[in-house]
Amino acid sequence: MTDAEAKPAAASHVDVTHLVMPSDANMLGTAFGGMVMQWTDLAASMAAMRHARLPVVTASIDQLSFLAPIRIGQMAILSAQVNAVFGTSMEVGVEVVSEDPRTGERRKCCDAFLTFVGLGPDGRPTRVAPLALATDAERRRDREARARRAARLSLRDALRAP
């Protein structure tokens, strides 16, 4: 893969909006954590596929903290973008905010980092196009993603150990 084939990080950007319905919610009238996780995984996978132009699988999801609930009738807005490409894998960052449709007030609900692996026609991991970083924010996200990758692979090795 040459640098000429690198793709802009911004080209992977995906925005997804859900209106939180009663079927998405718990008995408190706020979105289930598992539902927000599903929306997060889906938004992130679309950013990964948009970059790689390959089928992808989720290899890992870093720790998730839910900072604020999203109530029935509010919108959950997810923004996902590839932060870094390693070899066959890439890290995608997702930010989830709530929006009250009546007032427009927005609150940050959660940040997540997910790793996806691109799969070739044989179903095996295959190299993903490099990422072209255009802004200071993109370069910072790439740097931070590389530090997180080291921690995540140590954890994977510990989990694999007999």
Ligand X SMILES: CC(C)(COP(=O)(O)OP(=O)(O)OC[C@H]1O[C@@H](n2cnc3c(N)ncnc32)[C@H](O)[C@@H]1OP(=O)(O)O)[C@@H](O)C(=O)NCCC(=O)NCCS
- Residues of this chain that interact with ligand X (CB under 6 A) are 57-60, 86-89, 115, 117, 125, 152-153, 156
Residue closer to ligand X, measured from CB, 20 or 145: 145
CA angle 137, 150, 143 (to 5 degrees): 15
The CB-of-72 to ligand X minimum distance in angstroms stands at: 28
Residue closer to ligand X, measured from CB, 40 or 89: 89
Alpha-carbon gap, residue 160 to 162, rounded angstroms: 6
Residue whose C-alpha is closest to residue 62's, from 160, 154, 162: 154
The CB-of-97 to ligand X minimum distance in angstroms stands at: 25
Which token pair is 38?
């599903």
The CB-of-39 to ligand X minimum distance in angstroms stands at: 15
Residue closer to ligand X, measured from CB, 41 or 70: 41
The CB-of-111 to ligand X minimum distance in angstroms stands at: 17
Residue whose C-alpha is closest to residue 82's, from 151, 126, 141, 135: 141
Residue closer to ligand X, measured from CB, 122 or 136: 122
Residue 140: CB partners within 8 Å, gap ≥ 6?
Answer: none
